Structure 1
Amino acid sequence: MQFKVIRHRNKDGSYRKGYRVQCLRRVREVTPDFPEGKNVQRVMATFDREARELPADVRAILTPAEVEEWKEWRVKEDEEELAAAAQFELDTLAESARVARMGLAKGYATTTPDNAVAIRKEFRALARMLIELGLMPEPVRGRPEKEEESDLPLLPNFAPPGTPAYESYQRLLDEHERKKAQTNDGG
């Protein structure tokens, strides 16, 4: 038994999956032209592609082995659909999150605290998965290490000498040098 999703051609010539499944059975057909018989495929039944259970009329036509084949086909079809949906969602997730963030910031969208917790939980789980797969670096925990004070040169005093601004900046420079000397001396 072969289960085949009926495809349809769009106006542009590309094919898309339809909503019906054909059950095709290979049978030996004897005709006057072929008295020894030849193998042909015949459509035994057609039913909805999204059906979780076989319709009763289709189940009556199929053998138990063919019903098992259909169950295997259903599992395989579900896996293919999940893979395609997961890839699409992952490809568009950054854009969807950006639009949601902008909508929340501007007040166009709202959510409940329960939904916010669920969103945070899923984003954290996704981040852990990306780290495990090596697609994203692991975040650094804790505060960043404090680097030693560098000896960056201070800006020169651009105020004209003899002005209050010049005297004020000069006092700040002198104060800074005094505190730096006290720190370096250990006192």
Structure 2
Amino acid sequence: MHPIFEDLTKHIEFSSDLQSNIRLFLKANNCPQTAEHCMNVGTEARRIAFMFDANPDAAEIAGWLHDISAVYPSHVRIDISRKLKIDILHEEELFPMIIHQKISKVMARDIFNIEDPEILDAIGCHTTLRSNATLLDQVLFVADKIAWDQSGEPPYLEELNRNININKSLVRGAFAYINYLWERKDTLKVVHPWLSEAYIDLKDKVSSS
């Protein structure tokens, strides 16, 4: 484990139950709402995984861990990323909230001993997605957008659910959300390059399907 994580874990007695450990970790570090959100995303990711023949256990674990870095407020995330030797993009420096996906990936590996690269990579792009996203990437991305952590109903949810549940297309479901953002990109604080690449990639796949 990286020494930077010691203060977050030194007072916690972990068990062999990963889900309980994640919930305990987040609550012990003053993030009870994030704990609830992560559990909900895990449940949703498992449901979607079954629909599209992805690994349901991997999807659920990725959901539980995707926002584990919420223990770090946005204003310290760039400093934390430097200490963890994470590659930092210009857009992430401008809007540090968005780098939490990369920090969560490292924390899942170092604190919770996740070794599966597919799970780690899905966690690492769950906010922006990426070009040539894997099936698990898309499952987690969509699950996070369905089980969102804000009040009210997401404005993109009807279109996303229609594509997932009626059209039976995970690609179209992911594109529904990214296209929603893209149509409003002038209002975003930054447009992350991975998001731009995912938009181009998914648009091409939707057009050719």
Normalised TM-score (structure 2): 0.18
Larger radius of gyration: 1
Which structure's residues are more often helix, by fraction? 2
- TM-score using structure 1 length: 0.20
